Structure 1
Amino acid sequence: MNRAALFDVDGTLVDTNHLHVTCWWEALRQAGHEVAMHDVHRAVGLPGEDLLAHLLGEDRDTGEDERLSAAHETLYATWFDRLPPFASAARLLRELDRRGWRVVLVTSAKDSELDALLRAVDAADAITATASSDDVDEGKPAPDPVHHALGLAGAPARGSVLVGDTVWDMRAGTRAGVSCVGLLCGGIPRADLEEAGARAVYRHPADLLAHLDRSPFAAGAERAG
């Protein structure tokens, strides 16, 4: 039976969350919206439309969404050639691939951003497939992206594991029936990740790699076997 190792990318494999915070904050500021960076940080990981609804409310002028998203994308694109991967991110993916896991990236990033993130991670040889927000009707925290990723891997939810850094990742994975692992490197507190469904929490990819044999990946291998 195939086993899927599902990974969020922003804030999980690549150190980009605070870049997104700055770019969204600036896009909102330019449009006349005063939003605290702390609030933007807690919304990172949601698809753009959902992020704006979370920050500005469901009763906002939705006709402005496209312009705000385009401003964020333009600002963020200036960093595409220097996105910093977390230490051991590529090694973690390659080790899971070596152990027989099908590695699929599950991200709210659009395809243009995903290309830059893939270059930053630099582990294409270990990645079975990628699933972006463009592939589903509803993004995280809905389970749709996780279900889609499992389909790409040809793997059931049972025995599969999702690694992410936000509560949106944990909620999506929990609703899809996979085991969830949280990473603290995206800046979200351990308690929030655990409350949202994380079975285990590690500091960053290198910490998870060092403890892989005692992580939910070890338990997932046993359940899938």
Structure 2
Amino acid sequence: MLDGMTRTGSPRGVLFDVDGTLIDSSYLHTVAWWHAFNQKGWDVPMARIHRLIGMGSEQLIDELLPADRDRDQDESIGDAHGSLFSVHWAGLKPTRGAAELVRRCADAGLVVVLASSSNATEVAAMRQALGTDDVLTAVTTATDAERSKPAPDIFAAALEAGGLRAEDAIVVGDARWDVVSARELGLDTVGLTSGGISEGELREAGAVAVYADPQALLDDFDHSPLARLLAGD
């Protein structure tokens, strides 16, 4: 049964994380955060920042700065990161095979939802770079979730926006936070190392399969968890 529907007529679908998964932006975010912290007098190594990319801004700042800090700075650090990252919007590029994978999923009959917790303006820039709006069922942004990753809110919002049940959907993401938040909803995750997180770390978090990038997943589509989802396995 390869039409993207269950036997009861419920749709099947895929929830795509965007940053690092479909858009090659993880290291741009790392540099933007590094500059943002430095502007406020915090010396935070890029290696520590990179491992937390994909986590919500508030949680990321909490993880990287001392608990007894002056928290009045937190909002301005987050704002600085956003401004610094915006410099790169015009030059954003999809990861290898990203647009083709999104279209392959849609052509197979899967509901396709972009599950991003970035703000709407950033998501708009990434959607323009990806160029697949014509095959998307829905897109989520930060305003759709009360809490950001590793909380599961953004994937819960994506399921609702796509008219999907957790048992009929799968997540594709590049960060351990994607895997952790998806698991809270009973969603399996296909991990991609395109964001710079290792296969071992993604599997340790619970990813059911790991590929180098969207192109590698596309090349293995017929043998991947996406095909098994279509088949109802």
Q: Per the shorter chain, which TM-score range?
A: over 0.9
Distance 2:225 2:119 in 1: 29
- 1:67-146 residue pairs with structure 2 within 5 A? 67-146=76-155
Aligned AA (1:17): S
Q: Deviations over 1:42-69 (max 9, x none)?
A: 1111121111011114443221111111
Distance 2:102 2:174 in 1: 16
Deviation of 1:87 after TM superposition, in Å, equals 2.1
Unaligned runs of 5+ in 1: none
RMSD: 1.1
Taking only the aligned residue pairs, the percentage that are identical comes to: 39
Distance 1:149 1:159 in 2: 13
Structure 2 residue aligned with 1:47: 56
> Does 2:212 align with 1:203?
yes
Distance 2:71 2:111 in 1: 38
Deviation of 1:110 after TM superposition, in Å, equals 0.9
Distance 1:57 1:214 in 2: 46
Distance 2:71 2:229 in 1: 42
Q: Secondary structure at the match of 1:14?
A: coil
Change in Cα spacing, 1:35 to 1:219, as seen in structure 2 (3 Å) is: same
Aligned AA (1:147): A
Aligned AA (1:104): V
Q: Deviations over 1:60-88 (max 9, x none)?
A: 32211111111111111111111011122
Distance 1:129 1:57 in 2: 38
Aligned AA (2:29): H
Distance 2:130 2:152 in 1: 24
Structure 1 residue aligned with 2:3: none
Under a length normalisation based on structure 1, what TM-score does the superposition of the two structures give?
A: 0.96
Unaligned runs of 5+ in 2: 1-9
Deviation of 1:128 after TM superposition, in Å, equals 0.9
Contact persistence 1:53–1:60 (CA under 8 A): no
The count of aligned residue pairs is: 224
Change in Cα spacing, 1:58 to 1:128, as seen in structure 2 (3 Å) is: farther
Distance 1:93 1:57 in 2: 40
Deviation of 1:163 after TM superposition, in Å, equals 0.4
Under a length normalisation based on structure 2, what TM-score does the superposition of the two structures give?
A: 0.93
Contact persistence 2:22–2:94 (CA under 8 A): yes
> Among 152, 158, 165, which residue is 1:149 paired with?
158
